[in-house]
Amino acid sequence: MALLVYVDDILISGPSMSDIQQVKQHLHELFTIKDIGTARYFLGLEIARSSDGLFVAQNKYVLDIIQDTGLCHAKSTSTPLPHGLKLVASSGALLSNPDAYRRLVGCLLYLGFTRPDISHLVQQLSQFLNHPCESHWKATLHVVRYLKGCPSKGLFFPSQNSFALKAYCDADWASCPDSRRSLTGFCIFSGDALVSWKTKKQSRVSRSTAEAEYRNLAATVCELHCLSFILADLYVPVVLPIDLFCDNKAAVHILANPVFHERTKHIELVAICRSLTRYLSWALLFSPTVPLVGGLMEYNHLQQLSCSGLKQSCSSLKKMKLKMLQLN
């Protein structure tokens, strides 16, 4: 049994409806509650069920963003940002009303719970909250126009699905033009369902691609460790070993070899990553390419994906439209 509590909203999940009813009855004896039945709308998340599985989207939230920005009659775009656009800190005149930019980026951050295809872009736009420029505002509006073309997309969780975890990770070395820090990115699946993803600037400057990839591996292993704890709390057996895919042979060799070398002795995450292997069994696999992370952050020095590349990445991430589900 699991309870998700946010202020005065509670979402209950359990092995059977009888167990859920017992929890509801106990809460009703202690507090004045309103039972709204099967979850269909929770904190802006639209939940739809069918025999095929569970679908979570934020269609209404997207439409509200479009209306608030005054882009109801604007033309939609096929990609989140123009191809080849590079966002830097100092790029034009400062916005006269930065609060509007901060509010819109905050909305996009919340939307990212069900839209991994904009995760990398929102991460970029969030870097300029203190001093946003006109170019940053235009880029944010471009993201909204992209959402206008696909407001009903979300995440699908199949009913017949394995709980075996597998992860894909990739790093973009020295991708930030202002700090030259690398970018971490990973996608984690439970069976065929995408359950965790992240694109984040690394805290330190890496001296090589291998070092950036290794730091990325460490971040991914930490997330896998956390997810294994969550599954254990839900009494879901963790299938071991967990497959972890990386496209950098040097990083794979560094992790496989427990010896400190001249070029790797300064990497502080070596001990952390190796210590986690004592508690979590996982198989590190080399993959020539990691296409799944492409939809999140593999942009080769901020060169945005083409329309065809974006569609392929979103397809790999198991995203679908709300209208494709036969709702009950």
Q: Are residues 108 and 181 in the same domain?
A: no
Q: Please, what sign has the CA dihedral across residues 45, 46, 47, 50?
A: negative
pLDDT number for residue 250: 85
Q: Which of 131, 153, 175 delimits the end of a domain?
A: 153
Tell me if 48 is assigned to some domain. no
Mean pLDDT on 129-154: 95
Burial 205-235 (b: 16+ CB within 10 A, else e): ebebbbbbbbbbbbbbbebbeebbeebeeee
Pick from 94-98, 195-199, 262-266, 272-276: least confident: 272-276
Q: Do residues 224 and 244 touch, judged by C-beta distance below 8 A?
A: yes
pLDDT number for residue 316: 53
Mean pLDDT on 306-314: 54
Q: Are residues 30 and 140 in the same domain?
A: no
Tell me if 323 is assigned to some domain. no
CATH code of the domain in which 199 resides: 3.30.420.10
Q: Are residues 251 and 171 in the same domain?
A: yes
Q: Are residues 138 and 196 in the same domain?
A: no
| pLDDT > 50? residue 299 | no
Pick from 68-72, 103-107, 214-218, 274-278: least confident: 274-278
Closest CA to 185 of 18, 14, 300: 300
Tell me if 46 is assigned to some domain. no
Residue 9 CA to residue 285 CA, distance in Å, equals 42
Q: Are residues 183 and 283 in the same domain?
A: yes
Within a 10 A sphere around the Cβ of 302, how many other Cβ atoms?
19
Q: Which of 100, 123, 153 delimits the end of a domain?
A: 153
Per-residue pLDDT band at 221 (split at 50, 70, 90) = confident
Q: Which of 153, 188, 211 delimits the end of a domain?
A: 153
| pLDDT > 60? residue 326 | no
pLDDT number for residue 25: 93
Q: Are residues 122 and 199 in the same domain?
A: no
Tell me if 49 is assigned to some domain. no
pLDDT number for residue 313: 54
Q: Are residues 74 and 198 in the same domain?
A: no
Neighbouring-strand partners of residue 2: 13
Burial 143-173 (b: 16+ CB within 10 A, else e): bbbbbbebbbbbbbbeeeeeebbbbbbbbbb
Q: Are residues 170 and 123 in the same domain?
A: no
Tell me if 106 is assigned to some domain. yes
pLDDT number for residue 84: 76
pLDDT number for residue 277: 56
Q: Do residues 192 and 269 touch, judged by C-beta distance below 8 A?
A: no
Mean pLDDT on 1-16: 91
Residues 6+ apart with CB under 8 A from 128: 87, 89, 101, 136
pLDDT number for residue 321: 40
Domain of residue 12 covers: 2-37
pLDDT number for residue 290: 54
What is the number of structural domains in the chain? 3
Pick from 91-105, 108-122, 155-169, 304-318: least confident: 304-318
Q: Are residues 21 and 123 in the same domain?
A: no
**What's the mean pLDDT when you consider all of the chain?**
83
Q: Are residues 139 and 208 in the same domain?
A: no
- What are the pLDDT digits (tens) for 223-246? 998 999 999 998 899 888 888 888
pLDDT number for residue 136: 95
Tell me if 52 is assigned to some domain. no
| pLDDT > 60? residue 103 | yes
Tell me if 47 is assigned to some domain. no
Rounded percentage of the chain residues whose pLDDT exceeds 90: 47
Tell me if 53 is assigned to some domain. no
pTM: 0.83
Q: Are residues 210 and 74 in the same domain?
A: no
Q: Are residues 98 and 235 in the same domain?
A: no
